[in-house]
Amino acid sequence: MRISSSMVAGSYLADLHQQQEQLYKVQREAATNKRIVDPSDDPGGSIQASGLHTQKQVIDQYLSNLDDARQHVEHSETVVTTAQALISAAHKLALKGAGDTSTADARAALGKQVNDLLEEAATQANDSYLGTYTMAGINTNTAPYTVTRDVNGQITSVAAPAAAVSGSINRQIGTAVVKVNLNGSDVFGGAGSPVGSVDYFQTLVQLRDALNSNDGPAVTALMPQLTKLEDQVGVQLTVTGAGTSRLDRLQSALESQSLDTQKHLSSLEDADTARVAIDLQTAQAVYQQALQIGNKILSLGLGSLLG
């Protein structure tokens, strides 16, 4: 069969196109440092990579949930730590005021200090963080505690209905469900609190009033309640501490999973830099050789057939 000039030209153009495609593919691999850019680059590997990307997105979402949970749990711990410090300070003041040697003036001074502690505790009860109320159970958009004052502006009660300080707010973190809120009733007692709980605010009001009234026996009678309140708040501090430790363990596990997934993805998608450098050099050389062959064809007078 006679090979015509047009056949030679057509064969050359097809080969040149093939070399261009190969050069483009290697150049793209070098520019992106990715072995798989389009599914056609490796259909099987692309399917695997797609599944791993989905898995990585799920893990990243869990880590985001964990960060959110940690912020709330750690802030709750701060509020409870403050509440414990305040009741411990009140207990120490009560010990000073219970003695028979305390004078009316001394007890009045102690009463003023207790009142300051009460004011701070009331503020903590309606603490807000990131736009939500910390001790409000699931009703985080509304201040849970109502502060009532007498004509002199002193607090007479700090109270909340049970529904306003109860319920769980959870975050899904992997297979775990983590509670991220504290209920005011568990910390401060009052309505809806566990059986045997002590009312934090009522105890402080009673202590202040007993000191202001120079009533030593009444101050002494409050000692068991103050001790129990320290334990009551301490239990919730332990709860928040345990929550933080659990989040630490979950974060460690998720970060390990994320790293393993990323390593697997890299082994599928990432280009071998050394190999790509060699392939690029080879593809460029082959392409340049193809162009030189084309020039020779044109010099032989076949260029007119390529149009």
Domain of 171 in residue numbering reads as: 54-262
Per-residue pLDDT tens over the stretch 68-78: 999 999 999 99
Record the tokens describing residue 115, joined without a space.
């009142």
Q: In whole angstroms, how large is the CA radius of gyration of the chain?
A: 37
CA angle 116, 120, 121 (to 5 degrees): 115
Buried b or exposed e, range 160-187, using 16+ CB within 10 angstroms: beeebbbeebebebbebebbbbbbbbbb
Q: For residue 109, count other CB atoms closer than 10 A to its CB.
A: 17
Residues 6 or more apart from 127 whose CB is under 8 A from it? 79, 133, 134, 135
Query: Does 146 have pLDDT greater than 50?
Result: yes
Residues 6 or more apart from 63 whose CB is under 8 A from it? 251, 254, 255, 258
The conformational region for residue 167 under phi > 0 = left, psi -120 to 50 = alpha, else beta, is left
301 DSSP 8-state letter? I
Give domain status of residue 127, yes or no: yes
Give domain status of residue 208, yes or no: yes
Mean pLDDT of the chain: 84
Per-residue pLDDT tens over the stretch 20-50: 665 556 566 566 666 666 777 678 878 888 8
d(CA 286, CA 150) in angstroms, rounded, equals 94
What is the predicted pLDDT for the residue at 21? 64
Per-residue pLDDT tens over the stretch 255-299: 999 999 988 887 776 655 656 456 556 656 666 666 666 666 656
The CATH number of whichever domain residue 174 belongs to comes to: 1.20.1330.10
Provide the greatest CA pair distance for the chain.
Answer: 128
Give domain status of residue 280, yes or no: no
The conformational region for residue 173 under phi > 0 = left, psi -120 to 50 = alpha, else beta, is beta
Higher pLDDT, 288 or 53: 53
Give domain status of residue 292, yes or no: no
Counting the structural domains of the chain, the total is: 1
Give domain status of residue 133, yes or no: yes
Per-residue pLDDT tens over the stretch 147-179: 999 999 999 999 988 777 888 899 999 889 999
| Beta-carbon-side half-sphere exposure of residue 92 (alpha carbons within 13 Å) | 8
